[in-house]
Amino acid sequence: MFALWLGGCATTPSQKFPYTTQVISGAEYFPLVEMCRADGVTWDYDPLSRIIVLKKDAKEIELLIDSDRAILGVAPIQLKNPVVLQDGVVWAPLEVRAYLVSVACPVKGGIPAQDDRRAVFLRPVRVVVLDPGHGGKDPGAIGKNGLREKDVVLDVARKVKTALERCGVAVYMTREDDRFIPLHERPRFAERKKGDIFVSIHANANRSRWIEGFEVYYLSEAVDDNARALAAVENASLELEEANFLESFSLKAILWDLIQTENRRESIELARDLGDVVSSVMNLKMRGVKGAGFAVLKGSYIPSVLVEIGYLSNKDGERKLEDPHYRARMAEAIAAGIMKFKMYSETASS
């Protein structure tokens, strides 16, 4: 069993990497145990041979301390720098993570061969608009320990932005800090930025505190009581907005519905890709891809979805969302789902 520990080394936060890092002999490293804990990688360590075996899903890599040689599956590979042991902590070069943990842009130049969906979205995805829900005077859901939705989703959105920008995607956020943005201004912002898709990020709550999981919604009539109730909660910030918008909201509803209908199929495809990737990467229960009448999606002229990354009303859900490493993994999973849709749509349109 892996008996080495993580403490005892000074580390510094990395802006483009989900774990703390340290520079050793001029190269950047991360602690292996941190990856194992955060990303569900299992490990085994033989102190005699000094071989570390890491496994995740069907992936396996063998590392040797003080060596840049490794075995990926059954194939020998060479790392850019050797794995090192310092003060009881095993440090690996950053590239090791990519062999085990999916990142936002794992495929270049096309979609996976098994993706044989009929093309419904026939334009490139060059600009993504991210919408961290709530903000300012609207805190959103609040967990039992005081964790606020507006803070969690802003942090996650920033990390999604970083992950997508690594893949060459232009990203804009409806809010970059803790401020209140009226719901009708958010899709208008996406239009001004010439966005290709719009993703609104939220954290959920429910009176039934045992409920936990990940959900993705597209604009439609609510399909069940839970979806209707959630839409009512997320639309509650309309009460904080100006009365003249509330009057015009109902007048424009029919026009918006006609416009959104053209993008509904694309929105459903985007929602499915996000749901599939996040539930797989995060090992989370996927509570469904559903339709609901979210006001923040009604003014959008582009494929748009709303994601609920977890339940702050659930004890375990709040604990997870408090963890910065968990939020970083969630952000990369969301980015990977967006990239899956991007690769599908662009290959289908080529």
Is residue 76 classed as helix, strand or coil in its secondary structure?
strand
The DSSP symbol for 271 reads H
Strands (E), the chain: 22-24, 27-31, 42-46, 51-56, 59-64, 69-72, 75-78, 84-86, 89-93, 127-132, 170-173, 197-204, 214-219, 286-292, 304-311
Cβ atoms of 160 and 201 closer than 8 Å: yes
Query: Would you write out the chain's pLDDT as a tens digit for each of its 350 residues?
Result: 444 443 333 344 444 577 889 999 999 999 999 899 888 899 899 989 999 999 988 789 999 999 999 998 878 888 889 999 998 899 999 889 878 886 656 544 344 445 556 555 556 889 999 999 999 999 999 999 999 999 999 999 999 999 898 888 999 999 999 999 988 888 889 989 999 999 999 998 888 888 888 888 887 644 444 544 444 444 445 455 444 433 333 333 433 443 455 577 888 889 999 998 888 878 777 776 766 445 545 556 788 898 999 999 999 999 999 998 889 889 988 999 999 898 888 765 44
Q: Domain containing 322: what range?
A: 127-349
- DSSP strand pairing (304-311 vs 197-204): parallel
Whether residue 4 is contained in a domain is answered as no
Residues 88 and 169 in one domain: no
Please identify, among 53, 81, 100, the residue that sits at the C-terminal boundary of a domain: 100
- Domain count along the chain: 2
CATH number, domain of 238, equals: 3.40.630.40
What is the total residue count of the chain? 350
pLDDT of residue 172: 97
- Model pLDDT for residues 154-164, shown as the tens digit of each residue: 999 999 999 89
Cα 342 to Cα 121: distance, rounded to the nearest angstrom: 10
Kindly state whether residue 5 falls inside one of the protein's structural domains.
Answer: no
User: Is residue 267 one of the residues assigned to a domain?
Assistant: yes
pLDDT for the residue numbered 15: 43
Q: Which two tokens stand for residue 20?
A: 């703390």
β-pairing verdict for 42-46 and 27-31: unpaired
Q: Are 149 and 232 found together in one domain?
A: yes
How do beta strands 75-78 and 84-86 pair? unpaired
Query: Which tokens hold the place of 61?
Result: 């890599």
∠ CA 56-62-64 to the nearest 5 degrees? 140
Q: Is residue 256 part of a domain?
A: yes
Residue 16 lies inside a defined structural domain of this protein: no
Give me the half-sphere count of Cα atoms (radius 13 Å) on the Cβ side of residue 182. 14
Q: At what angle are helices 315-322 and 324-349 packed, to 10 degrees?
A: 80
Same domain, yes or no: 137 and 262: yes
Q: Is residue 210 part of a domain?
A: yes
Please report where in the chains the tokens 């000094």 appear, as a residue.
Answer: 50
- Count of C-beta atoms within a 10 Å radius of residue 223: 14
- Do both 86 and 149 map to the same domain? no
Give tens-digit pLDDT for 266-309.
888 899 999 988 888 787 777 767 664 455 455 567 888 989 99
Give the Cα separation of 61 and 52 in Å (integer). Answer: 8
Return the CATH number at 70.
3.30.457.10
Q: Which helix (H) or strand (E) holds 98?
A: helix 95-100
Residues 90 and 179 in one domain: no
What CA–CA distance (Å, rounded) separates 61 from 78? Answer: 12
Closest residue by Cα to residue 275 from 186, 205, 226, 341: 341
15-39 burial string, b = 16+ CB within 10 Å, else e? eeebbbbbeeeeebbbbbbbbbebb
Domain identity same for 302 and 341: yes
**Are 72 and 175 part of one and the same domain?**
no
What gap in Å lies between CA 135 and CA 237, rounded to an integer? 10
CA distances from 42 to 4, 32, 138, 166, 323 (A): 14, 11, 41, 27, 20
∠ CA 5-10-14, rounded to 5° = 100
Nearest of 113, 41, 39, 115 to residue 276 by alpha carbon:
115
63 in a domain, yes or no? yes
Shared-domain flag, residues 86 and 137: no
Q: Are residues 87 and 221 in the same domain?
A: no
Task: Please tell me whether residues 186 and 319 are part of one structural domain.
Answer: yes
148 and 268 inside one domain:
yes
Whether residues 163 and 307 share a domain: the answer is: yes
**Predicted TM-score of the model (pTM):** 0.65
Nearest to 31 by CA among 74, 58, 2: 2
Among residues 316, 324, 257, 243, the alpha carbon closest in space to that of 283 is found at 316
Contact 147, 322 (CB under 8 A): yes
Whether 192 maps to a domain, the answer reads yes
